[in-house]
Amino acid sequence: MLKHTLALTALSLILAAGSTQAQEKLVFAIGGSPQSLQGQTAQEFTRLLQERLGDDIKIEYYDSGQLGDERQLIQRLRMGTVDLAAISSIMSSVSPDFALFDLPYLVKDRDHLKRIDDEIVMTNLAESAEQRGLKIVSTWENGFRHITNSRRAITTPDDLDGLRIRTPQSDWRTRMFSTWGANPTPMAFSEVFVGLQTGVIDGQENPLSNIYGARLHEVQEYLSLSNHVYTPIWLTAGQGGWNQFSEEVREAISEAAAETQAWAFARGAELDEELLETMRAAGVAINEVDRGAFIDASTPVYEVFAEQVDGGQELVDRAMALADD
């Protein structure tokens, strides 16, 4: 009888342990919509990582700002209530070095971005983020940004005069649009559609996949192909949380993230072509901007970056030198 009781007790403990193990989870959150490149990339990463983790750890994936905007997600990473998040422009509020990617017309193309990632992001910038409690796991793509609005086509910076343009909550992005003559209005991405629909803002700037994914083209008449900023998005963990992951989990995350990077760059290029035609067919008026005029008008932004960010001019010079490698 005693042996039977002990056997049952042991079986109960094994089942309880198995139940606890089955309940282990990894929380991954983004601010973008499922249809955006950010959302598509996050879903691909979730699939690849779940394959590597098997049944032992369940990934809980949240999009569309369900767990907060990017500023809130950074805090959740530090607190440990979110394990992984995709963070974009607001990273410059964590470490000024990341404002390198808020400089207009810095990144030439995706190959250029990959070289910057290898030689600057995963060295200097990643170390800077780590000192502030965040672990940069991988660099993905948010895309080349363009300007939409409901008032007029934008060809030169003068056309932005007085327009209320939504920007991310980034001091450098607001500085850029102020320099160009617009009235920048920082706002969480989840609030942009209603802001445009109600006229609180006249326009916004985003990659095509974000514009289409959030249906912003439905409440905007003009799309001006400015390509003014190439925005990376960083798969990020809290440094404390990352250190608590087992070596096997860290390896699985890193491998899935690296595979996802290649997928994101390829998918981004595809979407640039597909969505442009889709929005043109939907009746959006599309025009090219005078790139030279915008570059000329951007000089003050570079000057301030060099003055305010320690080693800023060196970062700019290194990034630009990688353009033609």
Q: What is the CATH number of the domain that holds 235?
A: 3.40.190.170
Structure confidence at residue 7 as a pLDDT band (50, 70, 90): very low
| pLDDT at 10 > cutoff 70 | no
Give the list of residues 6+ apart from residue 39 with CB closer than 8 angstroms, or none: 30, 32, 33, 63, 64, 213
Q: Which residue has the tokens 């080349």?
A: 144
Query: By CB neighbour count within 10 A (0-12 exposed, 13-18 middle, 19+ buried), where does 184 fall?
Result: buried
Q: 23 pLDDT band (50/70/90 cuts)?
A: very low
- Is 8 contained in some domain? no
Average pLDDT, stretch 21-36? 82
Q: Is residue 118 included in any domain, yes or no?
A: yes
pLDDT in tens, 231-270: 899 999 999 999 999 999 999 999 999 999 999 999 999 9
What's the confidence (pLDDT) of residue 253? 98
Counts of helices then strands in the chain (DSSP H, E)? 13, 10
| pLDDT score, position 19 | 34
Is residue 173 assigned to a domain? yes
Stated as kind and residue range, the H or E segment containing 20 is helix 2-22
Using CA atoms, how far apart are residues 120 and 139, in angstroms rounded to an integer? Answer: 11
pLDDT number for residue 199: 96
Whether the per-residue pLDDT at 22 is higher than 70: the answer is: no
Confidence (pLDDT) at 325: 63
> pLDDT tens digit string along 163-196?
999 998 888 999 999 999 999 999 988 899 999 9
For the chain, give the percent of residues with pLDDT over 90. 83
| pTM for this prediction | 0.84
State yes or no: pLDDT of 45 exceeds 90: yes
Q: Residues 214-226: pLDDT tens digits?
A: 899 999 999 999 9
Q: Give the angle 252-254-258 at the CA atoms, nearest 5°.
A: 120
Q: Is residue 239, in this structure, part of any structural domain at all?
A: yes
Q: With a cut of 70, say whether residue 289 has pLDDT above it.
A: yes
| Distance in angstroms (rounded) separating the CA atoms of residues 271 and 2 | 67
Domain, as residue range, for 260? 20-321
Residue 292: pLDDT over 80: yes
- Domain contains 11: no
Average pLDDT over residues 34-56: 95
Rounded CA-CA distance 226/156 in Å is: 10
Q: Quick: pLDDT tens for 100-119.
A: 999 999 999 999 999 999 99
Average pLDDT, the chain: 91
Is residue 107 a part of any domain in this protein? yes
- Total domains in the chain come to 1
pLDDT of residue 6 exceeding 60, the answer is no
Structure tokens at 148: 């939409």
Encoded tokens for 50? 């779940």
Higher pLDDT among residues 93 and 216, named by residue: 216
Establish if 1 belongs to a structural domain: no
- By the 8 A CB rule, do 256 and 140 touch? no
The b/e string for 157-169 (b: 16+ C-beta within 10 A; e otherwise) is bebbeebbbbbbb
Q: Is residue 7 part of a domain?
A: no
Closest CA to 186 of 101, 98, 104, 89: 89
